[in-house]
Structure 1
Amino acid sequence: MRHARDFAVTVLVLGLLGAVAGVLWSMLAPRPPYVMTGQGPFLADPSTQALIAADGWFAVITGALGLACGAVGYSLSRSARPLAVVLGLAGGGLLGAYLALLVGAAVNLAPATITASGRTSSSLFPGPLGLTAHGVMLAWPLLAVGLFFALEGIAGYRDSPLRRPFGGQDPYGPLSDYDISGR
């Protein structure tokens, strides 16, 4: 029962952080310029870097949150139930990234600086914020779980008796048993 609670709390907290990440992404990521034609809206400048920049900002924001969540999750679960927290980091990271995408696309907080090559700024409008590289949605869960396992591996090695060869004993006995003078 405690495992289920730890999993659910981890997923819920990361989901709430996903909404915050979406608002932050909406504030930082540039929106691509669109122009309205008779057939509907079209990307005004196909060579715009705004689409790539939006993916990059999403990866930076969710990746930083993933690292923070992995470190906090590790420190809070050090005493017991790390499996529930690791699974919560993976599931909550996916949920948080998805909610960040939804909230960031729905909220428009970025300043409207619209430029495109060969277009006047009066016919341009900011387009919707979205992802073109959907693989960046994995930054949050992968970095959270990866950091958790890295910290667990470091702590496991530090506490391991394998770190001290021969159980901490000198395999040849004390140095006083050997004649090091060469006689």
Structure 2
Amino acid sequence: MTREVRAFAVTVLALATLGAAAGLVWSGITPRAPYQVTDQGTVLADPSTQALIAADGWFAVITGGLGLLCGGVAWFAARRWMLPVLLGLCAGGILGAMLTLWVGSTFTIGAVVVEAAAMPGVKVVPGALKLTASGVLVSWPLLAVGLFGFLEGMHGYRESPLRHPYGDPPEPL
């Protein structure tokens, strides 16, 4: 029982660590939306900006790629403890995505360039990173668990006796 718990915990902690690093990457490569500082507070300077959508897209690409990587590595590494590692992929993927969001929106990495046409005397500042499509938070655990299940299904089919129901000898590879 302790080995299963250890496999689960190591998987969750590894994905959480990757989530913190992914947040820094997301913060470094994602463009910021321009905001104007007015008497009422900050408002979006350019309503037709694509920076808000780009933040969601980059988040999905980074966390989805890590999900595929983690799912493949976990399947190859976890031959003895499949279920704890699979559950760790799910929980760790959620935790990793949440840490990516928190680290990326809290820390600013790299130079932030804001381009917007502002009226004279109006100050334009870069906005903080945030997700407008919260559904991208599930891209990491969904792709990690999906690839893990796909690889296990392919392996199970290859090793299955149902593949040769009439006792035919398997073909040489």
TM-score, length-scaled by structure 1: 0.88
3-state SS in 2 of match to 1:35? strand
Q: Aligned in 2, Cα 1:125/1:159: closer, same or farther, shift over 3 Å?
A: same
TM-superposition CA deviations, 1:96-151 (whole Å, max 9, x none): 00000000001111432212245569721110001000110000000000000000
Distance 1:43 1:65 in 2: 31
Distance 1:162 1:101 in 2: 45
Q: Is the 8 A contact 2:19 2:100 kept in 1?
A: yes
Q: Aligned in 2, Cα 1:161/1:124: closer, same or farther, shift over 3 Å?
A: same
Residues 1:144 and 2:144 aligned together: yes
AA in 1 matched with 2:163: R
AA in 2 matched with 1:125: V
Cα RMSD of the aligned pairs, angstroms, is 1.7
Q: Is the 8 A contact 2:60 2:137 kept in 1?
A: yes
Distance 1:120 1:135 in 2: 38
When structure 1 is superposed on structure 2, of 114-123 and 20-29 the one drifting more is 114-123
**% same residue:** 57
AA in 2 matched with 1:71: G
Aligned residues: 169
Give the number of the structure whose alpha-carbon radius of gyration is greater.
Answer: 1
Distance 2:122 2:111 in 1: 16
Residues 1:7 and 2:8 aligned together: yes
What pairs with 1:135-174 in structure 2 (closer than 5 Å)?
A: 135-168=135-168
Residues 1:64 and 2:80 aligned together: no
AA in 2 matched with 1:27: G
Q: Aligned in 2, Cα 1:86/1:21: closer, same or farther, shift over 3 Å?
A: same
3-state SS in 2 of match to 1:100? helix
AA in 1 matched with 2:6: R
AA in 1 matched with 2:81: R
User: What residue is the counterpart of 1:48 in the other structure?
Assistant: 49
Distance 1:121 1:81 in 2: 63
User: What residue is the counterpart of 1:27 in the other structure?
Assistant: 28
AA in 2 matched with 1:159: E
Residues 1:131 and 2:168 aligned together: no
Distance 2:152 2:17 in 1: 26
User: What residue is the counterpart of 2:88 in the other structure?
Assistant: 88
Q: Is the 8 A contact 1:44 1:119 kept in 2?
A: no
Q: Aligned in 2, Cα 1:22/1:151: closer, same or farther, shift over 3 Å?
A: same
TM-score, length-scaled by structure 2: 0.92
3-state SS in 2 of match to 1:42? strand
3-state SS in 2 of match to 1:166? coil
